Structure 1
Amino acid sequence: MEAESSFTDAKDEAVDEWSALLCTQLNGSKNLKEKWSNFKKLTKKNENNLVLPFLDSNGNILFEEEDKEKILEDTFFKGNHLNANNFDNDFYTEIMEKYINITLSEEVEEEGYMNEEISRDELEGSIAKLKKNSAPGPDNIFTELIINAGDSLISTLLHIFNKSIEEGRIPIQWKRANVKFLKKAGKSNYNHPSSYRPISLTSVLGKTMERIITTRVECYVESENILDIEQEGFRHFRSTTNALLNLTQSILDGFNLDNFTLAVLN
């Protein structure tokens, strides 16, 4: 009992010290941005994300890393959703035909930028959006190296990216990923793979080039009004908030007109 009481006192003292430090840091902040930055630093969780031992179907405890890796692989990478036979070939063919028609259309040729070489401004703009302190992919290249790249490295990357577009190929390392498993919050135990979620750490060079191509595609798709006007997801300056506002407005309009409003959600 004495040890438990001492532990409780020490814990309460540590919490008080942490609260005092948080208040001091927040009160000393010069602006809202600095307040938020200090708050995130002081409340950031440093959680150990090691995968704990699993229980197999027979109730055996699996401690070996190879055994845990096998269960995670079977759970996340060998499911029926990855079976090629489950894909809708007709739908795939239809989408590919639309894609080919778009890429070969006169509008794309006239726009020019879709097939132009990547410019230095595009590359530097993509680099500027990289997140610092991100974990590297299989090529072990850190974002800090690219963010602080000098003229020589920028020129080399520009040559590699344009060569990739010219030949229609990308390095195999850009297609690979280091998969990490993070614990889901609020789980009662972590002895089952469903208590984890996988994240893929991909090549920073691959992500840099992807952003350039994505920006070009987004610009064309938006300027040509290819997407449905009501699509909110995966678009700049659009969000679920817009969708909720539109739904709310439709309900209010129907109410004012003494009509019913139907919604199909999945």
Structure 2
Amino acid sequence: MSMKTEDNSVLPLIVENKDPIFNNEGKVELLQKIFFGGNHLIPDTFDKEFYDKINKEYIELNNNYKENNGTDQQRDGFDREISKDQVEAAIWRLRTWTAPGPDQQFAEFFKHAGEKFTEAIVTMMNIIWQKGEIPTEWKMADVKFLRKPGKTSYMYYSSSSYRPISLTCVICKLMERVILERIVAYTEGHRLIDLTQKGFRKQPLNKKCVTPFSPNYS
């Protein structure tokens, strides 16, 4: 159930000074080595100072939140239970005609499953929210390789002509959306994001971002 009609199968891969790779096992091994070789985990390339700085800021924000939100009423904006309305809104926003994740459940199923099913999802999400433990299955993803647009036909035989995408479980996407809406509302409402930051904000700030530069080009 995907709108993509183009065949996205990986063509035989040509490696310099080696025989072409025709079998799928060999293709997977090569692409996995290139895209998931773990270079980002090499100590020499890891910015520990930046990591420690971010971790410190996170701990400070967390401590300030606990100090300033001691009562249940004050925590209501962030720690409250997940409601049925929130889950229904997240389901309504799901994109259809997209490929499923490891659970093989399509978005269309969630949109037409009915009220009882939605209530069951709400109950499950609240248990997860209270315990703070994500099901292991939700952390899994099916990785697919798509050919990059604009590549000439002869370049399709190179591993650099492909890019990986991760297909995750739809139900995991639902909970991510519910939590994201809550985090955005809390951070924006408490002005935790610097006012000079224009990117990755929920409000349409394109005009505000361009305005400060206008006098320089007039």
- Give me the TM-score of the superposition, normalised by structure 2: 0.86
| Correspondences of 1:242-261 after superposition (within 5 Å) | 243=209, 245-246=210-211, 248-252=213-217
1:225 aligns with 2:184: no
Counterparts in 2 of 1:45 and 1:203: CA distance versus 1, 3 Å: closer
Q: Which residue in 2 is equivalent to 1:76?
A: 35
1:203 aligns with 2:169: yes
Deviation at 1:207, TM superposition (A): 0.5
Q: In 2, Cα distance between the equivalents of 1:85 and 1:122? A: 44
Q: Which 5+ residue runs of structure 2 have no aligned equivalent? A: none
2:21 to 62, 66, 91: 62
CA contact (8 A) 1:118 1:162 kept: yes
Q: In 2, Cα distance between the equivalents of 1:179 and 1:231? A: 32
Q: Which residue in 1 is equivalent to 2:178?
A: 212
1:102 aligns with 2:67: no
User: What SS does structure 2 have at the residue aligned with 1:199?
Assistant: strand
100-109 or 175-184: bigger deviation: 100-109
CA contact (8 A) 1:179 1:199 kept: yes
1:144 aligns with 2:108: yes
1:117 aligns with 2:81: yes
Q: How many residues align?
A: 209
Q: In 1, Cα distance between the equivalents of 2:90 and 2:62? A: 23
Higher relative contact order (CA 8 A, sep 6+): 2
Q: In 1, Cα distance between the equivalents of 2:44 and 2:69? A: 34
Q: Work out the percentage of aligned pairs sharing the same amino acid.
A: 38
Deviation at 1:230, TM superposition (A): 2.5
User: What SS does structure 2 have at the residue aligned with 1:114?
Assistant: helix
Q: Once the two structures are superposed, what CA deviation does each residue of 1:219-266 show, in whole Å capped at 9, x if it has no partner?
A: 1111122222222222113366654x24641523xx6xxxxxxxxxxx
Q: In 1, Cα distance between the equivalents of 2:194 and 2:84? A: 33
Q: Which 5+ residue runs of structure 1 have no aligned equivalent? A: 1-43, 256-266
Q: In 1, Cα distance between the equivalents of 2:206 and 2:17? A: 44
1:133 to 88, 97, 108: 97
Q: In 2, Cα distance between the equivalents of 1:156 and 1:85? A: 47
User: What SS does structure 2 have at the residue aligned with 1:218?
Assistant: helix
CA contact (8 A) 1:108 1:114 kept: no
1:180 aligns with 2:139: no
Which amino acid letter does the alignment assign opposite residue 171 of structure 1?
Answer: P
Q: In 1, Cα distance between the equivalents of 2:15 and 2:207? A: 42
Q: In 2, Cα distance between the equivalents of 1:191 and 1:242? A: 45
Q: In 2, Cα distance between the equivalents of 1:159 and 1:118? A: 8
Deviation at 1:94, TM superposition (A): 2.4
Q: Once the two structures are superposed, what CA deviation does each residue of 1:111-143 show, in whole Å capped at 9, x if it has no partner?
A: 422111111111111111101112111111111
CA contact (8 A) 1:102 1:108 kept: no
Deviation at 1:165, TM superposition (A): 1.1
Q: Once the two structures are superposed, what CA deviation does each residue of 1:67-95 show, in whole Å capped at 9, x if it has no partner?
A: 11011001100142243553322322322
Counterparts in 2 of 1:84 and 1:211: CA distance versus 1, 3 Å: farther
